[in-house]
């Protein structure tokens, strides 16, 4: 498939990352598979905050998660228990999870399980909630959302698990991602091709399943075009964590935000978060009837894909995205080229046909960000003030956390 490597990777963090081959091994309830998961634990996106610091849609989603888990029978009771510490709130990243938007992950929710065969390390991500704008992770919890989450847990999760276990061999996700980049996806805001390529992989197993189950799964796969994003995110979490702890390395291993802050992790600093203000909207495509005044940031960890050379770092693979998230093809080319300024290498796996198969920018370096004052871009879904998705866009990270990490790395050398 790929075969073209334009640069030899010598950076030790990247060498570690590329020594990983994520495979999809299961879909299982978080409680059964996520190390450290407990029934009263609610994971959410971004550098962790105290419970009372979560506001708006992200706070609503956390409360929704508590209600969904029957930890409380009313929002008031949920809030009281959260205040009392009977229900705990933690960051997804600390549990090998990765959150979409608000990122709420609770004990009974089915999670995709990505594993590295060599080390048996795992990463997890919840399932795509479907195409409706009302979703828990866009800050909404109501009967429709609840019933959909229950359907995912009772029907789709088990069916996916059965499907995965019936495959003759586990699905390697990198080849799917490579191909999808040649079919208009950048694997963050566009996963149209990857979702179909995944379907193609499981087709032989799908037609062998019990027909009712097969139809339910088929219908789920065909709802929206974002099924694969969660696989892409969990695979990237697995890849990025490979770099974590590389001594002295300034390679970014996570970019994530809560409702309040943006934060990054850096390979040389392990699990430490470097925090800064929320990202700025560079360009946006909002659904009809919405304006930028309606935008509410309620968290997001999907920029883990940018951390791995995808999303905004691969925009020139996904010109069709311009209609969804605003801007022109020329803008996308310019933005993509700009990202090479802050990356230490060209990706040996992920290529951009429009750039004559040049590898995507791989390995965002805090030192290069500090030097160029170019902050990373991120393709993201946009939530609205009343909950729900109202569009998509390209966000620019703040410089502060990169500058701080670069400064600390510089000081450590002295």
Out of 153, 171, 183, 408, name the contact with its own copies by CB under 8 A: 183
Out of 79, 209, 368, 377, name the contact with its own copies by CB under 8 A: 209
CA dist., res. 347 & res. 228, Å (int):
21
Other Cβ atoms closer than 10 A to 88? 13
Binding-residue pattern over the window 277 to 316 for its own copies, x denoting contact by CB under 8 A = ----------------------------------------
131 binds its own copies (CB under 8 A): no
197 binds its own copies (CB under 8 A): yes
Site for its own copies in 4-23 (CB under 8 A): none
Of 205 and 408, nearer to its own copies (C-beta) is 205
76 binds its own copies (CB under 8 A): no
Which residues are bridge partners to 274 per DSSP? 264
Of 44 and 195, nearer to its own copies (C-beta) is 195
CA dist., res. 341 & res. 350, Å (int):
17
Site for its own copies in 336-365 (CB under 8 A): 353-357
Out of 151, 287, 290, 319, name the contact with its own copies by CB under 8 A: 319
**How do beta strands 343-352 and 295-296 pair?**
unpaired
184 binds its own copies (CB under 8 A): yes
CA dist., res. 184 & res. 317, Å (int):
6
Out of 50, 169, 323, 413, name the contact with its own copies by CB under 8 A: 323
Out of 199, 337, 403, 408, name the contact with its own copies by CB under 8 A: 199
Give the binding range for its own copies (CB under 8 A) out of 202-210, 240-248, 284-292, 386-394. 202-210
CA dist., res. 226 & res. 329, Å (int):
22
**In terms of Cα–Cα distance, which of 90, 96, 370, 67 is closest to 239?**
96
166 binds its own copies (CB under 8 A): no
214 binds its own copies (CB under 8 A): yes
Out of 34, 160, 196, 267, name the contact with its own copies by CB under 8 A: 196
Give the binding range for its own copies (CB under 8 A) out of 24-32, 190-198, 234-242, 277-285. 190-198
Residues that bind its own copies (CB under 8 A): 182-184, 192-193, 196-197, 199-200, 203-204, 206-209, 211, 214-215, 218-219, 221-222, 319-320, 322-323, 328-329, 353-357
């Amino acid at each position: 498939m790929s075969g073209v490597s334009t640069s030899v990777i010598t950076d030790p963090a990247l060498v570690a990352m590329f020594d990983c081959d994520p495979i999809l091994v299961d879909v299982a309830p978080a409680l059964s598979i996520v190390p450290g998961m407990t029934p009263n634990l609610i994971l959410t996106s971004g550098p962790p905050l105290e419970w009372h610091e979560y506001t708006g849609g992200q706070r609503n989603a956390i409360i929704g998660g508590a209600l969904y888990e029957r930890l409380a029978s009313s929002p008031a009771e949920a809030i009281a228990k959260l205040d009392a510490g009977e229900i705990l709130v933690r960051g997804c990243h600390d549990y090998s999870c990765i959150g979409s938007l608000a990122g709420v992950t609770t004990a009974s929710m089915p999670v995709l399980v990505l594993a590295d065969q060599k080390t048996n390390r795992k990463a997890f991500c919840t399932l795509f909630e479907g195409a409706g704008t009302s979703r828990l992770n866009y800050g909404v919890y109501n009967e429709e959302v609840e019933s959909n989450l229950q359907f995912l847990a009772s029907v789709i999760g088990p069916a996916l698990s059965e499907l995965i276990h019936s495959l003759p061999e586990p699905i390697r996700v990198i080849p799917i991602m490579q191909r999808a980049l040649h079919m208009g996806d950048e694997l963050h805001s566009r996963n149209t091709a990857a979702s179909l390529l995944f379907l193609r992989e499981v087709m032989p197993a799908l037609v062998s399943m019990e027909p009712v189950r097969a139809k339910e799964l088929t219908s789920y796969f065909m709802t929206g075009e974002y099924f694969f994003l969660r696989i892409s995110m969990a695979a990237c979490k697995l890849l990025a964590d490979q770099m974590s702890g590389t001594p002295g390395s300034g390679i970014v291993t996570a970019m994530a935000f809560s409702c309040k802050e943006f934060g990054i992790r850096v390979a040389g600093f392990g699990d430490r978060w470097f925090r800064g203000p929320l990202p700025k909207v560079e360009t946006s495509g909002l659904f009809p009837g919405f304006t930028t005044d309606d935008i509410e940031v309620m968290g997001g960890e999907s920029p883990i894909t940018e951390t791995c050379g995808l999303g905004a770092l691969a925009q020139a693979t996904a010109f069709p995205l311009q209609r969804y998230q605003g801007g022109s093809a020329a803008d996308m080319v310019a933005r993509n080229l700009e990202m090479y300024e802050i990356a230490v290498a060209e990706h040996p796996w992920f290529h951009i046909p429009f750039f004559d198969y040049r590898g995507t920018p791989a390995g965002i370096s805090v030192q290069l960000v500090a030097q160029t004052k170019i902050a990373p871009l991120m393709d993201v879904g946009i939530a609205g003030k009343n909950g729900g998705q109202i569009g998509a866009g390209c966000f620019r990270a703040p410089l502060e956390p990169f500058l701080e990490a670069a400064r600390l790395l510089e000081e450590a050398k002295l």
